Amino acid sequence: WSLDERDWPEFIGSSTLLRFGDAHFLITCAHVMDNARQREVFFIGNGTLVRLSGRGRITNPPPGGTRETDRADSSFLHLTKETAQAMQDSYHFATAYEMAVGQAAATSTNYTFIGYPENLARPRGRGVLRPEERSLTAGAMTDADFSILNLSPLTHVGVRLGGGPLTDLARRPANLPVLNGISGGPVLMHFHEAVQNPTVVPRLVGLCMERPREHPDVLLGVRLAAVLQGIRDRYQIGRA
C-alpha cells in the first residue's frame, strides 16, 4: 500500500513473506516495487496502515527492453526487525521447509495462485481497509505453453486458464478473479509428503506475475529459485 495525492490509501500489489532464522524478507514482482519507488510503503496491521521499512534489490529490465518484457520481474526487501515483528501478528512468514525449488518444484500437475485482486482491495471509506484474498487452482502449463513464451519450467511456473475446472485453495469451484493486484502473491504446488502418507502439503514455489498478452490462456509466475538466488548472493542465506 501507499498513499495517493490526497493521502488516501492506494493499493500497490500483493507480496509473499519469507523467514530464514532471524532474517525476514518481503518478496514481490519488480513491477509492483516500481509503483513504490520514491514513495512511502505500508502494510495493513489491525485494519490500519503501518509503515513498512527495509532494504532490498529489484531486477532490471532486459537490455533494450522494458518492464513489460522483463520475465525475471522479481524483487526482495530485507525487513527491519521492527517491521518484521509488527507483521508477524497478522501475516505468515514461510520457512525453508515450506518452500520447494529446483527440479522437484516442476513436477506438480496443479498449482495455486494467491493474491489480492485490486477491485477487492479498495478502501471502503476513509480508514476502512479490508482487502479480500482470492486463490485459483488449475492445471499446470504444458511444454507447448512454455514454448510459445520461450520460457523454461525450471525458471517459471504457470497454469492453464482454459484447460479444465478452476477451483480455490480449498478445492471449491471458483471463477477467474480480476488479476490486477495479485502480482507478487504466492504460487503453491501440491506436494505429496511421503509415499506412506498421502497427505498433500502445499509448498511455496514462486510468485504470481502476469497473464501474458501473447498467450492469455495461461497465468504465469516466476519460480522462487530466482528470487532466492538474489537473497543468497547478498546475504548468504536462504538455501532451501
Counting DSSP H helices and E strands in the chain, the numbers are: 4, 14
Looking at residue 16, its pLDDT comes to: 96
How buried is 236 (Cβ within 10 angstroms: 0-12 exposed, 13-18 middle, 19+ buried)? exposed
E strand map for the chain: 2-3, 9-10, 16-20, 23-28, 42-45, 48-51, 54-58, 75-79, 110-115, 134-139, 156-160, 186-192, 200-210, 218-223
Three-state SS annotation for 15-59: CEEEEECCEEEEEECHHHHHCCCCCCCEEEECCEEEECCEEEEEC
Q: How far is CA 18 from the centre of its chain?
A: 11
What single letter denotes the amino acid at residue 200? Answer: V
C-alpha cell at 189: 504446488
For CA atoms 76, 31, 107, 116, the dihedral sign is positive
Which residue's C-alpha cell is 506438480?
A: 108
Looking at residue 93, its pLDDT comes to: 95
Looking at residue 127, its pLDDT comes to: 58
Q: How many CB atoms lie within 10 A of CB 24?
A: 21
Looking at residue 194, its pLDDT comes to: 46
Q: What is the pLDDT along the chain (240 residues), one digit of tens a residue?
A: 888 888 888 888 899 999 998 999 999 999 888 877 778 888 888 777 889 899 888 888 878 777 777 888 899 999 999 999 999 988 999 998 899 886 555 667 889 999 988 877 776 655 567 778 888 888 899 999 999 999 998 899 999 987 666 777 777 777 776 788 889 999 998 765 544 455 667 889 999 999 999 999 999 999 998 888 888 888 776 554
